[in-house]
């Protein structure tokens, strides 16, 4: 595993360490998880696009959905 050095505001680092403690982990482990998510985000989005393309035309709602229903929140 390779070490890296980061710079950040001391208060931010302490707040992150406190949060990590409440989550029963370390700041290093939390950062490693974040880094893995960050590095793999594009790959996951590409896979989602493939799945959605594979489903296109295969799913049926059974009735047309109106504009108001599509935009309902």
Q: At a CB cut-off of 8 Å and minimum separation 6, what does 7 contact?
A: none
What pLDDT is stored for residue 66 in this prediction? 83
Residue 38 maps to a domain: yes
- Would you say residue 72 has pLDDT above 70? yes
Higher pLDDT among residues 35 and 69, named by residue: 35
Higher pLDDT among residues 13 and 69, named by residue: 13
Residue 63 maps to a domain: no
Structural domain of 19: 10-57
Q: What is the pTM of this model?
A: 0.60
- Residue 16 vs residues 6, 39, 40, 65, 69: alpha-carbon distances, Å: 14, 21, 23, 45, 42
Angle at which helix 10-22 crosses helix 27-55, to 10 degrees, equals: 70
For the stretch 16-65, pLDDT in tens is 999 999 999 999 999 999 999 999 998 988 898 888 888 887 777 677 88
Domain count, the chain: 1
What pLDDT is stored for residue 6 in this prediction? 93
Residue 4 maps to a domain: no
């Amino acid at each position: 595993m390779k070490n890296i050095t980061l710079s950040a505001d001391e208060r931010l680092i302490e707040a992150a360490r406190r949060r990590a403690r409440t989550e029963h982990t370390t700041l290093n482990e939390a950062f490693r998880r974040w880094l893995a998510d960050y590095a793999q985000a594009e790959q996951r989005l590409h896979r989602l696009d493939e799945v959605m393309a594979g489903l296109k035309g295969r799913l049926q709602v059974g009735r047309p959905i109106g504009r108001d229903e599509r935009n309902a929140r």
